[in-house]
């Protein structure tokens, strides 16, 4: 890891995060979903961080690791601030000094050495393709849709099915696409939120050069985390980026995709924070679900920009929560259960892991299912 490299940042904390713009209205804390189970008060951090001499003390507070980077505070701030970035800035100070927990250090080191945060070898990143009829992209061959497979989907045996199903759906639709069979590496989403700014900048530079080299019309991501990161934090990427639900909705609209089976179920869609609040994609997943004959699509009370975070983002996969209070994923599953939903449809690998875990912990396995959208659609195609 390069935590020992000192930041060359010349802006003060106050300038970087526009702290003088804050009017202390508290809307950020009022909307922060983790306040119900932790001591995090993000408004307070924005206030205290104005005193540069307090920064070191603030960075030692355990609450800075409670933030899931859901962006609710940024959506609600009337002054256009991003309060969560203050917490990430404080994490960054700790990373620079090397004083982070071992799980975080290992994830950062793994991205640096192996191009993924899961401590898996680079060489096995493409194992999910085994036995599949998958088209591969080459930089010098034009392709319409260049796929970027998230590290979590590429390596996690529960989630590899997302990439596999995507290939089946694309083949069925006769889409022009290509997956990368070498050189693909972490987008840096979680590295950024864990506070490793310098490594993140390096990753952005390398991935930009790598992706720009392809003669592709656009990049399609399987995870909303990669999607939001490429869209918001890769200023020199020379192609538009879409989330796969947008592509599938387009293929459906063009008549290239259809469903061979009905699904007589009550389904609720859980908006992933990185797809919804952060990227404004709400309609395409719903359009896909509504296109399935028999589906009764119901909505959470807290949906779209008010959607409840599952606590999977912001590097939380590598930071154990100290709170013993109910996890937000459990609250979400209880809400789905109260709605009578038989399927909780999700479109994010982290949401699958947190919500499925919560569903099992609550003992609802017999009554409901957490399904990634590609799982559901590939079964019906």
Residues near ligand SF4 (CB under 6 A) are 22-28, 31-32, 34, 42-43, 46, 67-73, 76-79, 81, 83-84
**C-beta separation of 73 from 84 below 8 A:** yes
Of residues 33, 65, 62, 27, the one with CA closest to residue 46: 27
Minimum Å distance from CB 197 to ligand SF4? 17
- Tokens representing 215 are 């003669």
CB nearer to ligand SF4: give 86 or 289: 86
CB nearer to ligand SF4: give 46 or 348: 46
Alpha carbon distance 132, 160 (integer Å): 12
- Cα distances from 205 to residues 73, 108, 314, 324, in angstroms, run 29, 17, 21, 40
Alpha carbon distance 246, 284 (integer Å): 6
Of residues 182, 159, 277, 167, the one with CA closest to residue 220: 167
Alpha carbon distance 17, 14 (integer Å): 6
CB nearer to ligand SF4: give 70 or 167: 70
Minimum Å distance from CB 37 to ligand SF4? 11
What number of helices (H) and strands (E) belong to the chain? 17, 8
CB nearer to ligand SF4: give 218 or 304: 304
Q: How many CB atoms lie within 10 A of CB 186?
A: 27
Minimum Å distance from CB 63 to ligand SF4? 9
Q: How many CB atoms lie within 10 A of CB 8?
A: 6
CB nearer to ligand SF4: give 76 or 231: 76
CB nearer to ligand SF4: give 295 or 351: 351
Alpha carbon distance 313, 275 (integer Å): 12
Residues in the chain: 381
Minimum Å distance from CB 73 to ligand SF4? 3
Minimum Å distance from CB 373 to ligand SF4? 23
Minimum Å distance from CB 35 to ligand SF4? 7
CB nearer to ligand SF4: give 25 or 181: 25
Alpha carbon distance 146, 217 (integer Å): 8
**C-beta separation of 35 from 125 below 8 A:** no
CB nearer to ligand SF4: give 164 or 270: 270
Minimum Å distance from CB 283 to ligand SF4? 23
**C-beta separation of 73 from 277 below 8 A:** no
Minimum Å distance from CB 277 to ligand SF4? 9
Lateral strand order in the sheet of 296-298: 296-298, 266-269, 343-346, 369-372
Minimum Å distance from CB 69 to ligand SF4? 5
**C-beta separation of 274 from 224 below 8 A:** yes
* Chain mean position to CA 149: 12
CB nearer to ligand SF4: give 278 or 374: 278
Minimum Å distance from CB 238 to ligand SF4? 30
85 burial (CB, 10 Å; 0-12 / 13-18 / 19+) is buried
CB nearer to ligand SF4: give 24 or 39: 24
């Amino acid at each position: 890891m390069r935590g020992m490299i000192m930041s060359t940042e010349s802006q003060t904390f106050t300038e970087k995060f526009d702290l003088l713009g804050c009017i202390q209205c508290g809307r950020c804390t009022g909307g922060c979903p983790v306040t119900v189970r932790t001591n995090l008060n993000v408004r307070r951090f924005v206030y205290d961080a104005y005193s540069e001499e307090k920064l070191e003390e603030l960075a030692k507070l355990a609450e800075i690791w409670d933030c899931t980077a859901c962006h609710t505070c940024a959506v609600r701030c009337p002054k256009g601030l991003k309060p969560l970035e203050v917490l990430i800035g404080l994490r960054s100070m700790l990373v620079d000094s090397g004083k982070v927990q071992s799980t975080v250090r290992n994830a950062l080191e793994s991205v640096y050495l192996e191009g993924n945060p899961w401590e898996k070898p680079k060489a096995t990143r493409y194992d999910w393709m085994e036995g599949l009829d998958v088209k591969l992209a080459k930089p010098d061959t034009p392709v319409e849709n260049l796929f970027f497979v998230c590290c979590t989907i590429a390596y996690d045996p529960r989630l590899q099915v997302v990439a596999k199903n995507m290939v089946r759906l694309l083949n069925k639709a006769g889409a022009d696409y290509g997956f990368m069979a070498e050189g693909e590496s972490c987008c840096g989403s979680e590295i950024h939120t864990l506070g490793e700014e310098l490594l993140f900048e390096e990753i952005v530079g390398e991935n930009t050069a790598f992706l720009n080299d392809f003669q592709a019309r656009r990049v399609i991501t399987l995870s909303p985390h990669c999607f939001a990161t490429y869209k918001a934090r890769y200023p020199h990427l020379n192609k538009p980026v879409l989330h796969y639900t947008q592509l599938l909705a387009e293929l459906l609209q063009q008549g290239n995709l259809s469903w061979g089976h009905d699904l007589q179920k009550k389904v609720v869609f859980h908006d992933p924070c990185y797809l919804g609040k952060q990227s404004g994609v709400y309609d395409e997943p719903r359009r896909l679900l509504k296109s399935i004959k028999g589906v009764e699509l119901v909505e959470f009370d807290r949906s779209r920009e008010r959607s409840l975070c599952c606590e999977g983002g912001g590097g939380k996969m590598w930071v154990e929560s100290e709170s013993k209070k109910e996890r937000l994923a459990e609250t979400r599953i209880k809400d789905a259960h109260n709605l009578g939903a038989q399927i909780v449809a999700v479109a994010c690998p982290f949401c699958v892991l947190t919500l499925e875990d919560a569903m099992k912990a609550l003992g609802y396995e017999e009554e409901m299912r957490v399904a990634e959208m590609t799982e559901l659609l590939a079964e019906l195609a």
